[in-house]
Amino acid sequence: MAITDEVQRLGEPVRRWVRTQKDEYTQGEPRPLGADLGAMSVYVSLVGAAATAIRVSGRQLPSRIPLGDAVLLTIGTFRLARRIAKDPVTAPVRAPFTSYQGTSGEAEVAEEVREHGGVKHAVGELLTCPFCMAQWVGTGFVLGYVTAPRATRLAALTMTMVAGSDVLQFLYDGIQNGALRSPGGQEEAGSLSGQEV
């Protein structure tokens, strides 16, 4: 019992300092700092385990990544992170942590984190933030690129093609909705009436 009491005694100033830092940071708002720290720990642990596995397997890290692969992985990361965080089809993954608020754009939903504070809050924020998800998705692509470059390029290509298709869908919708018409309603140069601009 003496050791336990000593650990409690020595730990109390640390716990007090942590509570003070949390109170000063959150200013009464329910921020899940402990759960966020847990998420960071999970991320670092997974990356560390993957790096150890890569090293043990004897695989060599690439000395450089070709620009084309970097662009492919970047666009793939953008599209997959956004798909996870905003797509209606992936809503079942987010549903335990969020509540539906409506739409937030073409083929995207707006959701709010259901619980404030704690692990569910931290997971909900991660799953609804495409910027946050990009860190995890990008890390997955990089680790995949090191261990299985051909398969990873193929997966990233799929997401890059979807991103390109999204751009074309928005462009097509813009054309259909009159984005090329002048404010007065007449078309720009080359109108059917033959008027010069």
Coil/strand/helix, residue 112: strand
Bigger pLDDT: 47 vs 193:
47
Q: How far out from the chain centre does Cα 58 lie?
A: 30
Q: Are 87 and 128 in contact (CB under 8 A)?
A: no
Comparing C-alpha atoms, which of 140, 163, 139, 153 is closest to residue 78?
Answer: 163
Sequence letter at residue 65: I
Bigger pLDDT: 107 vs 148:
148
Q: Give the lowest-confidence range in 58-67, 108-117, 125-134, 176-185.
A: 176-185
Percent of the chain residues past pLDDT 70, beyond the cut: 91
pLDDT at 113 over 70: yes
Q: What pLDDT, on a 0 to 100 scale, did the predictor assign at position 185? A: 54
Q: What pLDDT, on a 0 to 100 scale, did the predictor assign at position 193? A: 47
Whole-angstrom distance, CA of residue 7 vs CA of residue 17: 16
pLDDT at 192 over 50: no
Q: Are 83 and 108 in contact (CB under 8 A)?
A: no
Specify burial of residue 131 (Cβ count, 10 A radius: 0-12, 13-18, 19+). exposed
Residues sharing a CB contact under 8 Å with residue 151, sequence separation 6 or more, in sequence order: 144
Q: What pLDDT, on a 0 to 100 scale, did the predictor assign at position 180? A: 72
Confidence band (pLDDT; 50, 70, 90) for 191?
very low
**Average pLDDT of the residues in 184-188:** 53
Residues sharing a CB contact under 8 Å with residue 39, sequence separation 6 or more, in sequence order: 122, 123, 126
Confidence band (pLDDT; 50, 70, 90) for 165?
very high
Averaged confidence pLDDT in the chain: 88
Q: What pLDDT, on a 0 to 100 scale, did the predictor assign at position 178? A: 85
Per-residue pLDDT of 11-55, as tens digits, reads 888 889 888 988 888 888 888 888 889 999 999 999 999 999 999
